[in-house]
Structure 1
Amino acid sequence: MASLIRLHLPSPLSPGATLATSAAQAHYLGAVMRRRAGDPLLVFNAGSGEFAATIGALDRRAATLVLGARTRAPEPEPDCWLCFAPLRRDMTELVVEKATELGVSRLVPVLTARTQPARLRADRLAAIATEAAEQSERLTIPDIAEPAPLAAFLAAFPPSRRLFVAAERHAAPPLSPADPLQPHALLVGPEGGLAPEELDAMARHAFVSPVTLGPRILRAETAAIAGLARLLAGSAPS
């Protein structure tokens, strides 16, 4: 049996409610997925959980959904941030998509000495994160922070959160799964890695823990995905 379409709706959800979708969601249901009035689907958000729903009415620019029973209650998720140097557009979008699928709660673009200039479209990244959450069956959408220079990022970083820094070509312990009950973050630098002076600056902060991702030199997008998979391994359901 094919899985049901899942849509994120930010409004409060409750059995029997009738809610409108966005125009983009109506287009997706009708023109892309060829759904019709009466077809079933699932809707969700972090505050309400996930609900069964049916399409009440549908045209090119609007759709209404009638909610049924709740299928999943809100549930705790790991408090893990991915902090990353923006890459070229397609690779940044890949990182956002895969980080969302893996379960991060926040994405933080960090501008480092070797970061290549790139224009980040917040609306585009938010749409990618939403689609990834819908596909991966999570209930939450990660926040996406405004890009910040490394110095400002470190100054504003909450000291109660542990920051694991992927430090290639440095003697550091391997990254291990984090305690899912504790707030933590992973910082991955750009292609070419973090500059020595940047690593020195981070070492002065007690919340920073340099780590290695293994013996290979990974591309930045690979490092972000592999590091998150390792860091969040302790969050997998038993």
Structure 2
Amino acid sequence: MIPRLYVTIDLKPGTRFAADERTAHYLKNVMRRAVGDPVILFNGRDGEFNATLADVAKKTVEIEIAALRRPQMGVPDISLCFAPLKKDAVDFLVEKATELGVAAFQPVFTKHTAATRLNLERLAANAIEAAEQTERLTLPQIHEPRSLSDLIDGWDPARRIILCAEAGPALPIAEALSNLKSDVRQTNAWAILCGPEGGFARSELDLLSKLPFVTPVGLGPRILRADTAALAALAVFQSILGDGAHRPPAPLLPIGQSPA
């Protein structure tokens, strides 16, 4: 397996740079890589590049960037607005939503939100690892938490909210999204809004359901955990309105292999 790594530097063929402490430790001590071994790099801006280890010393690892492997590609403009959860649940949510192609995370404090703190640095690290493992070329943005009222007050109505509603009138999510897909007025900017483990307060659901840019949807007959609901909604969205509805690209050739 060729290590695939996120870096922050600009990626240009022929450039040689010293890896940061995290990357150097991973390559040298975890993957046991040596001089001349290949790696793959991306930074979320310049695309994906082939590279090789140019020097592996006791305290440093230097990498030389070779040719472009894939041009930069984005993900659908879909934000996941979620009530903060307990540590393990929120870590799982960020990892899997990154794999599913979410563009941004927006933590939202609601009346029934149980968790009051979020370690955004840890969430960013989880997102980086998920992006590295799934050949994603971008990293999702992770925004500072906001209250639900502040979120709605500052909301751009051009971004439609898909509300995972636990109660009240709502079409099944696949039907609701299919209706939006056929609407010529649809936006290209979206958000999925999921409540906390205790659900939205009735007053919150009443407020949200009256907003013209909110579409309540149902997720089926079972009561889902908050993290499960968010991921289920995101998976259905991607299959109908996102990049899951498109034919996947041809697989990449291994490094050094030419087309037949």
Q: Which range, TM-score by smaller chain? A: over 0.9
Structure 2 SS opposite 1:53: strand
Q: Which residue of 2 aligns with 1:218?
A: 224
1:203 alignment partner AA = S
**Which has the larger displacement, 173-182 or 138-147?**
173-182
- 1:51 counterpart = 2:59: no
The percent identity for this pair of structures is 44
**Which has the larger displacement, 124-133 or 177-186?**
177-186
Structure 2 segments unaligned to the other structure (5+ residues): 248-260
1:224 alignment partner AA = A
Structure 1 SS opposite 2:106: strand
Q: Which residue of 2 aligns with 1:191?
A: 197
> Deviations for 1:175-232, whole angstroms, at most 9, x for unmatched residues?
2357597110101111121111001111232111111111111000110111110011
CA distance in 2, matches of 1:169, 1:113: 16
2:165 alignment partner AA = A
Q: CA RMSD in A?
A: 1.6
Q: Which residue of 1 aligns with 2:32?
A: 34
* 1:75/1:117 CA distance change after superposition, 3 Å: closer
C-alpha contact (below 8 Å) 2:158/2:187 kept by paired residues: no
CA distance in 2, matches of 1:186, 1:163: 6
Normalised by the length of structure 1, the TM-score is: 0.94
Larger Rg: 2
- Deviation, 1:61, is 4.4
> Deviations for 1:101-129, whole angstroms, at most 9, x for unmatched residues?
00011000000111113321111111110
CA distance in 2, matches of 1:97, 1:71: 25
1:195 alignment partner AA = A
- 1:132 counterpart = 2:141: no
- 1:92 counterpart = 2:90: yes
Q: Which residue of 1 aligns with 2:158?
A: 160
2:113 alignment partner AA = T
CA distance in 1, matches of 2:170, 2:64: 54
* 1:168/1:59 CA distance change after superposition, 3 Å: farther
Q: Which residue of 2 aligns with 1:209?
A: 215
Q: 2:66 aligns with which of 65, 68, 74?
A: 68
Q: Which residue of 1 aligns with 2:15?
A: 17
Structure 1 SS opposite 2:91: helix
C-alpha contact (below 8 Å) 1:113/1:194 kept by paired residues: yes
- Deviation, 1:156, is 1.6
CA distance in 1, matches of 2:19, 2:216: 44
Q: 1:8 aligns with which of 6, 21, 27?
A: 6
C-alpha contact (below 8 Å) 2:74/2:138 kept by paired residues: no
Structure 1 segments unaligned to the other structure (5+ residues): none
C-alpha contact (below 8 Å) 1:17/1:67 kept by paired residues: yes
- 1:151 counterpart = 2:149: yes
Number of positions where the alignment pairs a residue of Structure 1 with one of Structure 2: 236
- Deviation, 1:59, is 3.9
